[in-house]
Amino acid sequence: MINTIFIAIIIFTELLFYIVFIDVILSWVTLVWLNIRPKFIAQIIDPIYSFIKSFLPTTFWPFDFTPIILIMILYFIKWLIIILSPWVQSTINNYIK
């Protein structure tokens, strides 16, 4: 039961990682004056970004480091789950192969 929850959390963190990655790529497109950011990405990511920004100052001049901090948190959660339950890692490796 608990291993199923761990696998669901890992899948959620991976999904969130890809959503953050897409958001970062789309923010680079804004540099050429094209504002392409789907609302569903903004609705998912903006509350998480604002939560992180409430604890840490994440900007340095024009750079926003919130996505990097979020990716580090996601990888830490994934690493912690794999350390707590090695069975999860073997299950994930079986699905990848």
**pTM of the entire structure?**
0.83
At residue 60, the 3 state secondary structure works out as strand
Query: Is residue 97 one of the residues assigned to a domain?
Result: no
If you ran DSSP here, which 8-state letter would residue 67 be given?
H
Query: Is residue 40 one of the residues assigned to a domain?
Result: yes
On the question of pLDDT at 21 being above 90, the answer is yes
Query: Is residue 85 one of the residues assigned to a domain?
Result: yes
Query: Is residue 31 one of the residues assigned to a domain?
Result: yes
- At 86 the pLDDT is 80
Q: Would you give the distance in Å from CA 48 to the centre of its chain?
A: 9
Q: Please list, in sequence order, all residues whose beta carbon lies within 8 angstroms of the beta carbon of residue 33, skipping any fewer than 6 positions away.
A: none
pLDDT digits (tens, 9 = 90+) for 25-62: 988 887 777 788 889 999 999 999 999 988 887 677 77
Total structural domains in the chain? 1
Query: Is residue 51 one of the residues assigned to a domain?
Result: yes
d(CA 75, CA 72): 5
Q: Would you give the distance in Å from CA 76 to the centre of its chain?
A: 11
Query: Is residue 65 one of the residues assigned to a domain?
Result: yes
- At 96 the pLDDT is 67
| Domain limits for position 81 | 2-91
Query: Is residue 96 one of the residues assigned to a domain?
Result: no
